[in-house]
Amino acid sequence: MPDTRIVSVIVPCRNERDHIEAFCRSVAAQQVPEGWTLEVWVADGMSDDDTRERLSAWCAQDARFHMIDNPGRIVSCGLNRCIEASGGEFIVRLDVHTVYADDYIAQCLAVWQATGADNVGGPWRAQGESGPAAVVQRAVAAAFQSRLVAGGALSRDLAYNGEVDTVYLGAWPRCTFERFDGFDENLVRNQDDEHNLRIHKGGGRIWQSASIRSTYFPRASKLDVFRQYRQYGYWKPFVMMKHGQAAALRHLIPGLFVAVLLGLLLLTLIGVPTILYAPLPAGLREVLVVVVTACASLALLQGWLYGTAVLLISWRIAREQGRDLLWHLPDVIAAYHFGYGIGSIRGWWDAVVRRRPDPAFGRLTR
């Protein structure tokens, strides 16, 4: 048995021209414990900017880095190609849009060795770039980190240490993949949730440690946040249907909220012209007036309550994170909730009724 053990870093990427070199520098600077050596596998999803050229140049100057093709283009395919190509006893997933503490990999190894868990990782800490031009991204990060916006997921709790349902990114002994297989390549999003669910159902353990530190830089536009969370909402029902998993309340509320609001608005929009122009018996017309008035009133009440709650939450977040965020937080919070809600409605329809995903949701939004 060789004296040196290998830790394999696996990275899916596509069109990361502006970030790939800084990412490679940060990985190259990682502290690896004595007795371990580092190899880095980057699966490029057939980038059409010059990511591949920049990555190839980096691989040529640092023999620890390797680039492989990911013709499937999505994250789950890229992760599996990296796992297949790598030779490490321990595997650490990294993301190009995240900055890591210098001891990130060392801490992953230490926590794994201390706990014997099947997957280890740190909390999901989001942060925006500095400067006035990045105020939207800072608002996105502040909303992401808020329990009032994102619910009570332990993965957002920066101080929590212990067993969890899922962790950000993840780090595994290779035997985890031998026991539970790789990532589901049918899933464009939520592939990590599904894999962690498989670990849990198979009797494995997932451990979160505050000592595993990283900072994630989220989307910098409200439309991109909406599209991203629409995909998260869309693919979650497929994961739950696959495993017969009961949905957590925080996963159901956005879809139910949007469905009720859209239903009330639709009934109002259909009912008003029907009352005005359709030849109806007087008694039926009176009933419709009551029903349509009730629907319109409930829609207005629901919208008013939601809007008021969003403004109050925005004010509270801005008071803690910066007053300049206040003008953007309501839109950002709505993008999170309506994106996830609309995606969830469509996802349940396709998962339960059509029993297959829509190809339109088959590519990543970044």
pLDDT digits (tens, 9 = 90+) for 264-280: 999 999 999 998 888 88
Q: Which residues on neighbouring strands pair with residue 44, listed in sequence order?
A: 13, 69
Per-residue pLDDT, 42: 97
Domain boundaries, the chain: 5-223, 249-361
What mean pLDDT value characterizes the chain? 92
Six token digits for residue 59: 């691989």
Q: Running DSSP on this structure, what letter comes out for residue 127?
A: -
Six token digits for residue 31: 């502290």
Closest by Cα among 208, 155, 205, 153 to 180: 205
Read off the pLDDT of residues 322-347 as tens digits, 9 standing for 90 and up.
999 999 999 999 999 999 999 999 99
**CATH class of domain segment(s) 5-223:** alpha beta
Six token digits for residue 317: 């977040």
Strand pairing report for 90-93 and 168-173: antiparallel
Per-residue pLDDT, 2: 55
Mean pLDDT value across residues 184-201 = 92
Q: 222: how many CB neighbours lie within 10 A of its CB?
A: 19
Q: 162: how many CB neighbours lie within 10 A of its CB?
A: 12
Tell me: pLDDT of 1 over 60. Answer: no
Per-residue pLDDT, 196: 94
Is 319 exposed, middle or buried, given 0-12, 13-18 or 19+ CB atoms closer than 10 A? exposed
